[in-house]
Amino acid sequence: MRYLPTRSTWLQTCRRPPPRATCGTCATCGASAGSRGPGAPRPSGPVVPQPATSGVPVDQRLGDSEYHFSWRHDGSKTYTWDGANQYCGNLGSGWQGISIETRQEDSLVREAITEDHLPWIWTSGQLKNHGFAWASGAEFVGLNWSHTGGNHRPQPDNREGDENCLGVLNNVYDDGIKWHDIACHHDKAIICERKVRVHG
């Protein structure tokens, strides 16, 4: 016997009234909260879960991101900036070195460093044409640069002449857990980040 959708089935699945006037059709209401212009507040939903990355341990979550602390899973290896960010990319789709975009995210980094007694970590931050930039592409805001460094100058200071990578150092200059521009060949662990939800 062939199954044909009845009128009542069709009505149940598609005749839900649009929740808002901006939402015109069944299809658009199912997929999106409607159009939004630049500067509009972040939507509260609906959200589309991203496919799981199988087998990648997640050490922390915050907002729409999950985080993987390399040192907890690779025998505390350290890497150049390139190697560290490659480690993150090798975890799978969507994984990158961390982009520290908010004060809450910076707190997460400082807590991880404190909890595990790390001397330093890499981030995805790297000097581009017009200043430092994150892998996420989000606007770079220097939330936690140190006020000092090896030459007692505020960071970034490019002390070694090729300090093109952004690391977080744990009180190396008696300055707390702070951002420093560092030559990329130094070896450190890294926090990897992946956005787990994309607003539809």
Closer residue to Ca ion, CB minimum distance, 28 or 158: 158
For the CB of residue 138, give the shortest distance to Ca ion in the complex, in Å.
22
Residue 82 structure tokens = 């390139």
Closer residue to Ca ion, CB minimum distance, 94 or 149: 149
Closer residue to Ca ion, CB minimum distance, 125 or 149: 149
Using CB positions, name the residue nearest to Ca ion: 181
Q: Classify 190 as helix, strand or coil.
A: strand
Q: How far apart are CA 162 and CA 140, in angstroms?
A: 20
For the CB of residue 191, give the shortest distance to Ca ion in the complex, in Å.
20
Closer residue to Ca ion, CB minimum distance, 88 or 184: 184
Residue 121 near residue 190 (C-beta atoms within 8 A): yes
Q: How many CB atoms lie within 10 A of CB 27?
A: 9
In Å, how far are 70, 111, 137, 166, 179 from 132, measured between CA atoms?
Answer: 23, 23, 11, 8, 12
In Å, how far are 35, 40, 117, 151 from 31, measured between CA atoms?
Answer: 11, 18, 45, 54
Q: Classify 145 as helix, strand or coil.
A: strand
Residues interacting with Ca ion, by CB under 5 A? Answer: 149, 157, 159, 163, 180-181
Closer residue to Ca ion, CB minimum distance, 67 or 81: 81
How many residues does the structure list for the chain? 200
